[in-house]
Amino acid sequence: MIKVKINGQEQNWDGDPDLPLLWFLRDEVGLTGTKYGCGQALCGSCTVIIDKQAVRACITSVSDVVGRDVTTIEGLHPTGDHPVQKAWRQLNVPQCGYCQTGQIMQGAALLMDNPKPSHDQIREAMAGNICRCGCYQRIENAVHLASTGV
Amino acid sequence: MNILTNPKKLRGFERHLKVENVSRRSILKGLGIAGGFALAAPVMSRPAFAAYETGASKMPHGTVVDPRVFVSIAPDGIVTIVGHRAEMGTGVRTSLPLIVAEEMEADWSRVRVQQAPGNEAKYGNQDTDGSRSTRHYLMPMRQIGASARSMLEAAAAKRWGVPATEVKARNHEVVHAASGRKLGFGDLAADAAKESVPGIEGLKLKDPKDFRYLGKGQIGIVDLRDITVGKAHYGADIRLPGMKYAVIARPPVTGGKVKSFDAAEAMKVSGVEKVLEVKGWPWPSKFQPLGGVAVIARNTGAAIKGRDALKIVWDDGANGKYDSVAYRASLEEAARKPGLVVRKEGDADAALKGADKVIAAEYYLPHLAHVSMEPPVAVADVKGDRCEIWAPVQSAGGTRDDVAKTLGIPDANVTVNVTLLGGGFGRKSKCDFAIEAALLSKELGAPVKVQWTREDDVRHGFLHTVSVERIEAGLDKSGKVIAWRHRSVAPTIASTFAAGAKHEAPFELGMGLIDNPFEIANLQCENPEAAAHTRIGWFRAVSNIPRAFAVQSMVAEIASATKRDPKDMLLELIGSPRLVNLSSVKDPWNYGEPYSSYPIDTARLRKVVELVADKGGWGRSVPKGHGLGIAVHRSFVSYIATIVEVAVDDKGKFTVPRVDTAIDCGTYVNPERIESQIEGAAIMGLSLAKHGEITFKDGKVQQGNFDDFPVIRMDESPLVTHVYIVPPGPDTPPSGVGEPGVPPFAPALINAIFVATGKRIRSLPIGKQLEA
Ligand code: FES
Ligand code: FES
């Protein structure tokens, strides 16, 4: 039995310890805000935050996160009003929205690390997150807006 | 609950609806355009009276104009409006209900949107593709809103004992100005529900100058908050009690099948519960599943791991030799010989022979995969002779039909719940994944989720075609273009429906080939044969992509050969402001729209060129290594022009500092979403131009994920995209937005690269061609 902490809550897992965290979150815990896009750390849809770092849940196994705090989009802010989330809404960022939770988690992690990123730094830090709808211009501006206070 | 919608009352409703064949432009002021028309009433269809005719009535099940189907009002005043089209990122789940709210004077903050299940008899056509939603539904949604408004007004007038003409709905209440009395929509709902639905012909639509929402651009999408907090539900987010998780190993070659398989290792994987063969249909079979071997598990991760452990021997079938290198050569060969003539003006052969100069070029565009961020996924629960589906499908009605047919049960026994779509781009118009889930659920007697991995999506989709477009332009001594021959060779989407289809269908020929708007005396379009060896399907903007790439590149090639400014050359070829005469074309298709409402209007085409040139600073000086390129294209009956600024460094790496796009999409609803669609279209255009290529070897797709089928990421995306929307005339019918942004991007980029480097790219993707 493995015990892991997701959004402050303890979760037990008695199955395959190598199960990717992504599927544990989505299928076993029911936290479906974390999305599948590639399964190979190529797209960022599955981004969660572990110890202030953006992590791809699709290549992280459940056993890897034992004893660490995993934050998913559902736990980013108690009322969903993290500055990045607010900036996102202010700029009407999403199109289909599927990639957006991963983008928001990546953006939030960036601001933990670098509260005032330049546009170039944003473009670099967010380059691991694909948006097939092509919302990049607004994503970039929303991260910037979040960094200046919303 | 007091509601306007009472399903029990629905049945007798048809008699309230009249099929109109008179034009009552005086009543439907604002959007009417000239020309009376006669609507033929297809069986089961209830075409709406419209001030302008659209192709909506020719779509299966037409349109339904019935406030009792689309609008309900609760006693607390909350208005619920049904969104019956699929939301895949275009904003349609917001835009269409917004139109209803506008007309009925509902306060948007007190409106909730409810997604309709697949039921075209009830809601009208639901097939969300072809950039059709606003085009076909602006007027019906206005009529629905106006109906609801007049029922609320009638109820209030009765309550007060005053003539209905003295009361007016205003911002969620009905007001009697003379006495100062007011009643909220919630208070009136029960009485309004008893009012008969007014005939469409008597409806008064709002004067556009009184619009609060339409065309204003202040409205966020209804799912905005849910999306940002992770509560928006896509296909994969559906979880049912007892649900099993499945992935399927499908034949690597289209038309192949399972010869034998060994599940022993797969069954050893923790969490795997079952392995079974699933039925496939011989190719081509429209949207039926490919078949293969399914692994059933307690979660998706286990199912994937189990699948990796399967040992399967495949029978590759007839397409086992499909090879992209050889196929390209065959397309080029076909393009160099005469083909089926699909448009002929004057005598292009003779004019080319007599020309002072002939410029000929071939343009190649490979297969592309949609790679919507959410790969195909569906949940099905089959119980006895009933089936319920939850899936991100573009065509809920079509999915219902296909699932019912496959299971051999009546349509009425199938419920298709449409989730949000994590992107669609045409891939999710085909419901094979939903049928797979239904078949598995039936077999297992439990709810099943079928999840496609990204590799499945790339390897087993319905790809964008592969094409060679060959254009020969003949010039006279003065440099004027006197002849134009365009041969288009590409396997057709029709091959997915019927074995052996080798010519492109009118809906493909009509995407930038036979609808060429140029004023050239001798113009010929040909379509040589091409056989398909994989599933070909609609991909956002479809055949417009290779056509705009070829035609708009050729314009710049001619400009360069004759030392003209490319924009001036473009305007010269478009020629005089006129409605293009397509009488020589057997089936001009015109996106399914009547030519009377949606002609090819070269004045509008010129206008977007001039607008983008003006706003985008055509001719501005740019730094060394930069270049500007321009392209224009009409598609989905909208007009769109793009200028791309490119910056190429001395190693041949390029970036896009700026994009400017002007779009004329007629009357529009939510300009904010038009901008986002165009911003996104620039990214998709850049993706396909820079990286997009699916290739086959030994019948198998050689790519699998975003490492070998890359799409544009933020660090390579344009620094800024500006969008200019042409304000509509009072009578301009709405036209497409979702797709038209894509086609002009690649040629504008390619033309910019030529200016920056002198290198002319004729084969996409650009890849490393500039680095050579
Ligand atoms: S799903 Fe994890 S990075 Fe794509
Ligand atoms: S919003 Fe659709 S993939 Fe990003």
Paired tokens of A112: 């933990």
The set of residues, in sequence order, having a beta carbon less than 8 Å from that of B308 and lying 6+ positions away, is none
Is residue B49 pLDDT above 90, yes or no? Answer: no
Is A101 in CB contact (< 8 Å) with chain B? yes
Is A13 in CB contact (< 8 Å) with chain B? no
pLDDT at A121: 98
In a 3-state reduction of DSSP, which class is residue B504?
Answer: coil
Torsion of CA B211, B217, B218, B220, to 10 degrees: 120
Residue B5: Cβ within 10 Å count:
17
Q: Taking Cα atoms as reference points, which of B389, B397, B83 lies closest to residue B221?
A: B83
Ligand 2 centroid–CA B682 distance in Å is 14
**Exposed e or buried b for every residue in B499-514, given b needs 16+ CB within 10 A?**
eebebbbbbbbbbbbb
E strand segments, B282-398? 292-297, 311-315, 340-345, 357-365, 377-383, 386-391
**Chain A residue at shortest CA distance from B392:** A96
B168: β partners = B175
Is residue B35 pLDDT above 90, yes or no? Answer: no
Is residue A14 pLDDT above 70, yes or no? Answer: yes
What CA–CA distance (Å, rounded) separates B397 from B67? Answer: 20
Chain-centroid distance of CA B473 in Å reads 32
What CA–CA distance (Å, rounded) separates B410 from B412? Answer: 5
With tokens 């055509």, the residue in question is B618
DSSP B367: B
Q: Does the Cβ of A136 fall within 6 Å of ligand 2?
A: no
Q: What angle do CA B759, B762, B767 make, to 5 degrees?
A: 75
Chain-chain contact of A73 with B229 (C-beta, under 8 angstroms):
yes
Paired tokens of B76: 């607390």
Find out whether B127 and B431 touch, Cβ atoms under 8 Å. Answer: no
Q: Does the Cβ of A46 fall within 6 Å of ligand 1?
A: yes
Report the number of secondary-structure helices (H) and strands (E) in chain B: 20, 26
Ligand in nearest proximity to the CA of A44: 1
**Chain B residue at shortest CA distance from A128:** B713
| d(CA B733, nearest CA chain A) in Å | 25
Lowest average pLDDT, out of A48-62, A106-120, B48-62, B278-292, goes to B48-62
pLDDT band for A150, please (50, 70, 90 cuts): confident
Cross-chain CB nearest to A15 (options B230, B270, B677): B270
Using the Cα atoms of residue A113, residue A119, residue A121 and residue A123 in order, give the sign of their dihedral. positive
Ligand in nearest proximity to the CA of B91: 2
Find out whether B473 and B510 touch, Cβ atoms under 8 Å. Answer: no
Is residue B4 pLDDT above 70, yes or no? Answer: no
Percent of chain B with pLDDT over 70: 94
Quick: pLDDT tens for B103-123. 999 999 999 999 999 999 999
Average pLDDT for residues B675-703, to the nearest whole number? Answer: 98
Q: What is the mean pLDDT of chain B?
A: 93
Average pLDDT for residues A60-78, to the nearest whole number? Answer: 97
Q: What is the largest CA-CA distance in chain B?
A: 83
Q: Radius of gyration of chain A from Cα atoms?
A: 15
Residue B191: Cβ within 10 Å count:
17
What CA–CA distance (Å, rounded) separates B434 from B64? Answer: 26
In a 3-state reduction of DSSP, which class is residue A112?
Answer: helix
Pairing of strands B414-418, B626-635: unpaired
In a 3-state reduction of DSSP, which class is residue B559?
Answer: helix
Ligand 2 centroid–CA A96 distance in Å is 5
Q: Taking Cα atoms as reference points, which of B623, B581, B578, B627 lies closest to residue B604?
A: B578
pLDDT at B201: 87
Quick: pLDDT tens for B169-195. 999 999 999 999 999 999 999 999 999
Q: Which helix (H) or strand (E) holds B174?
A: strand B173-176
Residue B451's φ and ψ, nearest 5 degrees, are: -105, 125
pLDDT at B202: 87
pLDDT at B644: 98
Is residue B623 pLDDT above 70, yes or no? Answer: yes
**A residues 35..94 contacting B (CB < 8 A):** 35-40, 42-43, 45, 72-74, 80, 85, 88-89, 92, 94
Quick: pLDDT tens for B331-378. 999 999 999 999 999 999 999 999 999 999 999 999 999 999 999 999
| d(CA A114, nearest CA chain B) in Å | 18
Q: Does the Cβ of A142 fall within 6 Å of ligand 2?
A: no
Cross-chain CB nearest to B299 (options A19, A33, A134): A19
What CA–CA distance (Å, rounded) separates B411 from B16? Answer: 26
pLDDT band for B643, please (50, 70, 90 cuts): very high
The region that residue B347 occupies, defined by phi over 0 for left and psi between -120 and 50 for alpha, beta otherwise, is beta
Is residue B25 pLDDT above 50, yes or no? Answer: no
Quick: pLDDT tens for B477-526. 999 999 999 999 999 999 999 999 999 999 999 999 999 999 999 999 99
The set of residues, in sequence order, having a beta carbon less than 8 Å from that of B80 and lying 6+ positions away, is B71, B72, B73, B74, B111, B112, B113, B114
What CA–CA distance (Å, rounded) separates B325 from B630? Answer: 31
Paired tokens of B613: 């040139």
Burial label for B408, CB within 10 Å (0-12, 13-18, 19+), is exposed
Q: What angle do CA A75, A76, A79 make, to 5 degrees?
A: 80
| d(CA B446, nearest CA chain A) in Å | 16
The region that residue B366 occupies, defined by phi over 0 for left and psi between -120 and 50 for alpha, beta otherwise, is beta
Is residue B44 pLDDT above 50, yes or no? Answer: no
What CA–CA distance (Å, rounded) separates B229 from B231? Answer: 6
Question: What atom of ligand 1 comes closest to residue A44's alpha carbon?
Answer: 3
Which of B714, B720, B723, B745 to probe the A interface (max A CBs under 10 A)? B714
What CA–CA distance (Å, rounded) separates B761 from B312? Answer: 42
What CA–CA distance (Å, rounded) separates B290 from B432? Answer: 8
What CA–CA distance (Å, rounded) separates B228 from B226? Answer: 6
DSSP B513: T
Ligand in nearest proximity to the CA of B90: 2
Quick: pLDDT tens for B154-164. 999 999 999 99
Q: Does the Cβ of A98 fall within 6 Å of ligand 2?
A: yes
Find out whether B766 and B549 touch, Cβ atoms under 8 Å. Answer: no
What CA–CA distance (Å, rounded) separates B82 from B650? Answer: 55
pLDDT at B11: 25
In a 3-state reduction of DSSP, which class is residue B345?
Answer: strand
> For residue A53, which amino acid is it?
Q
Report chain B's terminal Cα–Cα distance, integer Å: 71
Paired tokens of B192: 């309004």
Average pLDDT for residues A39-67, to the nearest whole number? Answer: 97
What CA–CA distance (Å, rounded) separates B539 from B424? Answer: 9
Q: Rounded to whole angstroms, what are the CA distances from B349 to B352, B355, B396, B487, B727?
A: 5, 10, 47, 13, 41
pLDDT at B43: 27
What CA–CA distance (Å, rounded) separates B99 from B212? Answer: 10
Q: Rounded to whole angstroms, what are the CA distances from B610 to A50, B656, B662, B667, B730?
A: 52, 22, 9, 20, 21
Q: Rounded to whole angstroms, what are the CA distances from B270 to A59, B261, B297, B300?
A: 18, 20, 9, 12
Total number of residues shown for chain A? 150
B309: β partners = none
Q: Taking Cα atoms as reference points, which of A61, A73, A54 lies closest to residue A129?
A: A54
B71: β partners = B81
The set of residues, in sequence order, having a beta carbon less than 8 Å from that of B461 and lying 6+ positions away, is B369, B370, B427, B535, B537
Is residue B380 pLDDT above 80, yes or no? Answer: yes
Pairing of strands B257-262, B481-489: unpaired
B486: β partners = B471, B525
pLDDT at B13: 26
Residue B356: Cβ within 10 Å count:
12
pLDDT at B39: 26
Percent of chain B with pLDDT over 90: 92
Is residue B5 pLDDT above 50, yes or no? Answer: no
pLDDT at B720: 97
pLDDT at B731: 78
Q: What angle do CA B425, B430, B431 make, to 5 degrees?
A: 125
Residue B702: Cβ within 10 Å count:
15
Average pLDDT for residues B413-431, to the nearest whole number? Answer: 98
What CA–CA distance (Å, rounded) separates B251 from B424? Answer: 23
pLDDT at A50: 97
Paired tokens of B648: 């190429």
Q: Rounded to whole angstroms, what are the CA distances from B238 to A26, A33, B162, B271, B304?
A: 10, 12, 51, 20, 18
pLDDT band for B15, please (50, 70, 90 cuts): very low
Is residue B128 pLDDT above 70, yes or no? Answer: yes
Q: Rounded to whole angstroms, what are the CA distances from A110 to A122, A146, A147, B759?
A: 8, 11, 10, 39
Cross-chain CB nearest to A132 (options B91, B298, B372): B372
Q: Taking Cα atoms as reference points, which of B255, B286, B280, B254 lies closest to residue B498?
A: B286
